[in-house]
Structure 1
Amino acid sequence: MKSKIAEKAYTLIKKKKYKKAKEMLLNNKVRMSHDAEALAMLSFADIFLKDFYGAEELSRKALREDNFCFNAMLAKAYISLHNGHRENALREYFRILDLDPENKVAKDNIERIRFLTNNARGDEINPRAYLLGKKKLSMSRFLVLIPIAFILTFLSYITIDRVYPKIRYVLLDKEQKELREKLENVYLFEGLEDGKIPDSAKSPTYSPREVAEMFDKAKNNMRSASVNEAVMIINGALKSDINEYLKERFRVLKQFVIAPDYNIFRESPDYLTVVANYDLYNGGYVKWKADVNTVGQTNIDGIPKKRARLLIYDTADKNIAGVADLIVNVTVTLEPKNYIEVYGKILGYDAKQKSIQLEGQIIKHLPKKK
C-alpha cells in the first residue's frame, strides 16, 4: 500500500482491532478524504463491525477515487456475497484477476464461493478470509509448532487406539448412529457363532469361506468413505450363483448403506465407468460436474418432484461424457445452462434414454466456464 495511514489501519484490522482502526481513520478525515486505500480500509472496518450499509458506501467512494483499488473491490464483493448476490461478487473477483492474474485473495475467494452451501449468506460467511486472505504462518511459529504437533499426534494415536470404540459415534447424527448400531448385528448367518460357516453356503463358483469374506468386506466398507466398494460387492453377490437365502442376507445388508460424508468422499467413479458397470454401481454414490440442460417435473410414488436433465463432464472437466436424469431432493434453484457439482445416489440406468438416473443429495452452483 502507498498510503501509510491505510497500511496502519490494515495492520490494526489484521489484529482484530476494528474499532481502533476506524477511530484512527476517522481522526484523519482530511488526509483520507481522497485516499482510496484508506477509504477501503474504513470499509473493511465497517464490515467487521457489521455496518454493511456504511461499508458499501465507502467502497463505492474508494472506487470513485481510484477505479483500480483492489481492496475496495474486495470490500464491494464481500458485501454482495453477504447480501446473497454471488454473481456480483464473482464479477468483482474476476475483474481483479483481469487486472492482476496472480491476485491470490481473489483466486481463493472464487474457490470458496464454489463450495458455499446453496443458501449460505450473511453471518454464515466469515469476512476475514474474503478480505484479508489466508493467514500466513511465520517460520518462527512454524518451528515452535513442530514439537507440539508431534506430541498431539502421539496422544491422538493413543486416544484413537484405546478410546475410539467408546467415542466413535459422537460425530454421527442420530439416524446414522442408529443405522450403524443395527449394522453391527447384521450377520451372514443368524444365530451362528463366528467362524462356523455351514456347507449350504457353497455355490458352483464360491466356497462358503469366500461368501463369508465377501459379506464381511462389504460390511466393513460401509463404515468408511468406501461405500461404493461395499455396494459393488453386494450387487456382485446378488448377480452371482449363491443361493437365495444368502442373496437375501446381502439385500438386508444393502439397506444399511449410508451416504458418505460429502467432504471426505473422494472415490467417485467417472460417468463412463458407471455406464459400463451400472448394475454393479446401482445404489452407489457419485460426485460429478455438469451443465443443466432442461428442468421439469416428475412423479415418484405420487409425490411431485423436480427433475433435471444433466450433461455430465468427463474427468478432465472439458468434454461432455454423457447424460443423467437428476431427481432434485434439496432446496435449490436450477435453470438451463447452470454449471453445477452434483453429489448423488445412483438409482439405475435408462437404456432407452441412455441416461444414468440420480437422486441429488447435495447440489452446488459453480462459476460459469469461460
Structure 2
Amino acid sequence: MNRAAIDEAHSLIRKKKFSEAIVLLEGVREIYKNSFDYYLTLGIACLNSGDYGSSYRNFDEARHIKMQDENLLLGQAALYLIRGDTVSAIRYYLDVLDLEPENKKAKSALEFVRSKGDYETIVRWIDTGKIREFFPEVPRKKSFLPFVLSVVGGGVAACLLLAFLHFRDAGQKNQRPVVESLVLTADDRSNLQEKDLSGGVYRYILSDSQIEETYEKARFYFQNYRENSSRVEINRILNSNASEPVKAKAQMMLSYCEEPSFDSFSGREEENFSYSAVISEPVLYSGCWVVWSGRITNARTDGEAFKCDLLVGYENLERVDGIVAVNFPSVPKIEGDRAVKILGQIKVEDGKISLSGRSVYQPLRKN
C-alpha cells in the first residue's frame, strides 16, 4: 500500500534523513498548503538540517493555522535559543509547560538555560549538534495523563517557572520595574474568590489556585512587556469569580499597558494573535492589539470617521480567514486595490469582534 508523503516524511525524519524529507515535502507543498502537520513537519526537518530561515518560515505558516501545539512551540523556542535570545526561548518553554506540564524537552531546555545558557556554550552545542536534544519530534499519537495530575503538575510547573523567570538575571534586563501595587498581598491571597456568586454572571469559575496562577501569569507577561498575553489573562480574571480586590488590581494593570506600534510586533509573533484564535473565544481577546493583513472592502466615510471591512488573510487573493469591521477616527491613506496591514484594537460587542484602527501599512507600489 502506498504511504502518504507526510507519513513517509515522518519516517525519514525519525531515521535522521532530513534532506530526503525536505525534498519529498517540497514536492507536495501545493497538496498540503493548508495542513498544520505539513508545515510543522517541514519546519522540524529544516531545523534539524540547519536551515533555520526555512524552519522559521514553515513554523510561522503552521502557527497561522494552529497556535497552541507543544511541538510547534518547542521548535520556535529552539530557534530563539539558537539565536541566543534566551528570554524569548524561556517564554515559549513556559507556554509548552502550560500545555503539557511534564514535557521533558521543555524542562531539560529550561535547566540548560538556567545552568549553562551563556552564548558561548549555546554556540558550542550548536556546533556539536547537542542542541538537537531540545528539538521537537515529528507528531505521534499522544498519551495523556489523568486530568487531576495534569492540573496539579501545571500549577507546580507554573509557580516554579514564574519564580525562576523572576530572579534570572538575563530576564531582569528586559523586565519592567516591579509595580508594588500590583503584587497580591496576604489579604488578597486569603480572599481570592467572590463569596456570593448569586449576584453576577461568571464565564469562568476558577479555584483559588487557578485565580492566583492566572493573575501571576498576567503580571509576569506584563513585567516582560508581553501586554497582549497579559490582557488575555486579565480578561480571564475579570470574567471569572475572582474577588473584587483581585479584579481591581487586574484593572489597574490594564491602566499601565501602553499602545503598541507596528514595530512593537517585530520579532514578537507570539503577541500577534491570529483571527482564528480570537474568533474562538472573543471575550479573552477584548482590548488586545493585533496586526492583521488582507484587503479592504465596503469602504465608506461617516463624517470625519472612516469605516471598512477587512478581508483577513486575503492579501494574496487565495483565502479569506474572516471578515472584520474596522473603524478609524479619521480617514487613513489606503489604496483599496492593494493588500494592507492594519494595526487595531479588538472590540467585542454581542459576541462579535471589530477593530478600532490605529495605523495602516501598505508596501510601496511597484513601477
TM-score normalized with structure 1 length:
0.43
**Which structure would you say has the larger Rg?**
1
Q: What is the TM-score with the length of structure 2 in the denominator?
A: 0.43
